[in-house]
Structure 1
Amino acid sequence: MGELHVRSLLVTGANRGIGLGLVQHFLGRPKPPEWVFAGCRDPKGQRAQELQNLVSRHPNLVIIPLDVTDPASIKAAAVRVEEQLGGSGLNLLINNAGMLICNTIDNEKMENMTRIYTTNTVGPLLMSQAFLPLLKKSAQRSLGSALSCSKAAIINMSSSAGSIEEVFLWDQAHIVAYRCSKAALNMLTKCQSLGYREHGILCVALHPGWVHTDMGDSVGHTPPVTVDASVRGMLKVLSSLSEKDTGTLLDWEGKVVPW
């Protein structure tokens, strides 16, 4: 397993759940990143209180106002991050922000499908486009040509619920709009891996497990995986990713998830 040397990263949806867990674990590493950017819609709101508390103890943490469904917000975030980095590139972009609305296949609505698809699929597309120049700069400054998360990478937080072969937990929750958005995100990841490989950027979709978060709990059953276990597992996976993994869908233990 390789070492994970991340100089700078941005996590979307970082005020709670898996996003917050990722921020906490990166900050707690023996050699933490020089900059950790935590994107959330309302940095001063009550739901971002834990992030605000972290800032007082970690001067390398910067909370970024960011709504991944708003192109103007994404553009402003990219400008802010670029200014903070002062000429160096962004090492790692983790597109974690997502949403889920529990519906059966019979009562799924167009407005829900549109909202969820915009957040879960279009958001990562726009984020990756906006931060591509900074990711390319990071790749250019790195030694060697091999792809890795220590060089430059886009990690899209997907789900085995989007696996057409597995259709994970269908009996517990239909969540059709969520499933469709994650299946589309998987294809986006594959496309990004093909389009950005020449720039030295690794692109992978990760299934974090069925995690005990607000979203994970919303399907009406207690998820078996804690945020801490999921994040620890994903960090191990990130440290091991290489050329052979770009464009794949892996779970939090490093196992391949079928498309």
Structure 2
Amino acid sequence: MAFSVLVTGANRGIGLELTRRLVSQSGTDQAKHVFATCRNTGDCKDLDDIKEKHDNLHILELDVTDEASYPRLVKQVEQVVKGDGLNLLINNAGFANNQPLHELTSEQMRHMYDVNCIAPIMLTKAFLPLLRAGSHANPDLSGEIMCWKRAAVVNINSRMGSIADNGMGKFYAYRASKAAQNAVTRSLGIDLRPERILVVSVDPGWVQTRMGGPNGKISPEESARRIVSTLSKLGPEHTSTYMDNLGEPLPW
């Protein structure tokens, strides 16, 4: 059974560790192709090191805010997967800052929204033909089954995307963009359910990355391990939901 994955923002942090784990899995969870995107393929040594050991890794260039480049990216993936399609799209690329209210600008709000909300939905739209192909390419996954090996879109979100869980304020642009991404996830899951494409929003946890800072509670490696384990257990009842990295539901 062919199983192909694309991870955006894969040159560091959570995206890098997701890529590392996905290319190295064995048995029924082994991916035939893992596509890892980064903004500059000439400066992604960690990905290059992984590729030396795993020939199922394909490193592709992508700035998620450059929508004009999406058709080229889709074509590159299609040339590799052919009729098997794409099974799992992980929209991981993101941006965060914490400008205080008196310094916040509309430009900062727009940029955060572009990266964290518009890019995931437009990239999903661009890859929809390949996700549809992936959904129908595996005869072993018959009936109404929805799972990550058939076709799934995973939006890496944040607990800060929860309006109900916001008890400390601040992070205006980031919170708003991630809450908007959650709204997109909810609608996509409803609209794509008839095509058996599962859509979920996942909080990776407070991770020790450049974005999460050194005080994060878990390492990128642990976050990736939990996320992949959780994704492997998802079914139709999980589509259009918002969860933590262990699969526990989060309040919208």
Please tell me the TM-score bracket, short chain as reference: over 0.9
Matches within 5 A, 1:152-191: 152-167=151-166, 170=168, 174-191=170-187
Structure 1 residue runs of 4 or more that deviate by more than 4 Å after TM superposition: none
Q: Alpha-carbon deviation of 1:53?
A: 1.4
Match of 2:25 among 25, 29, 34: 29
1:111 aligns with 2:110: no
Match of 2:217 among 198, 201, 224: 224
Match of 1:55 among 27, 51, 55: 51
How far apart, in 2, do the equivalents of 1:40 and 1:122 lie?
Answer: 18
Describe the SS at the equivalent of 2:89: strand
Aligned residue for 1:75?
71
Describe the SS at the equivalent of 1:215: coil
Matches within 5 A, 1:188-227: 188-217=184-213, 222-227=215-220
How far apart, in 2, do the equivalents of 1:42 and 1:198 lie?
Answer: 37
Aligned residue for 1:146?
145
Contact 2:38–2:62 (CA under 8 A) maintained in structure 1: yes
Contact 1:39–1:63 (CA under 8 A) maintained in structure 2: yes
Question: Please, what TM-score do these two structures have when normalized by structure 2?
Answer: 0.95
Contact 2:135–2:197 (CA under 8 A) maintained in structure 1: yes
Match of 1:44 among 42, 45, 59: 42
How far apart, in 1, do the equivalents of 2:236 and 2:230 lie?
Answer: 13
How far apart, in 2, do the equivalents of 1:118 and 1:252 lie?
Answer: 24
How far apart, in 1, do the equivalents of 2:161 and 2:151 lie?
Answer: 25
Q: Deviations over 1:81-100 (max 9, x none)?
A: 00111221101000000001
Q: Deviations over 1:19-76 (max 9, x none)?
A: 000000111212331100001110112xx11011111211110001111111122221
Any unmatched runs of 5+ in structure 1? none
How far apart, in 1, do the equivalents of 2:186 and 2:9 lie?
Answer: 22
Aligned residue for 1:96?
92
Q: Alpha-carbon deviation of 1:208?
A: 0.3
How far apart, in 2, do the equivalents of 1:37 and 1:70 lie?
Answer: 18
Describe the SS at the equivalent of 1:36: strand
Contact 2:2–2:84 (CA under 8 A) maintained in structure 1: no
Question: Please, what TM-score do these two structures have when normalized by structure 1?
Answer: 0.92
Q: Alpha-carbon deviation of 1:104?
A: 1.4
Alpha-carbon RMSD: 1.3
Contact 1:6–1:149 (CA under 8 A) maintained in structure 2: no
Any unmatched runs of 5+ in structure 2? none
% identical equivalent positions: 38
How far apart, in 2, do the equivalents of 1:225 and 1:73 lie?
Answer: 34
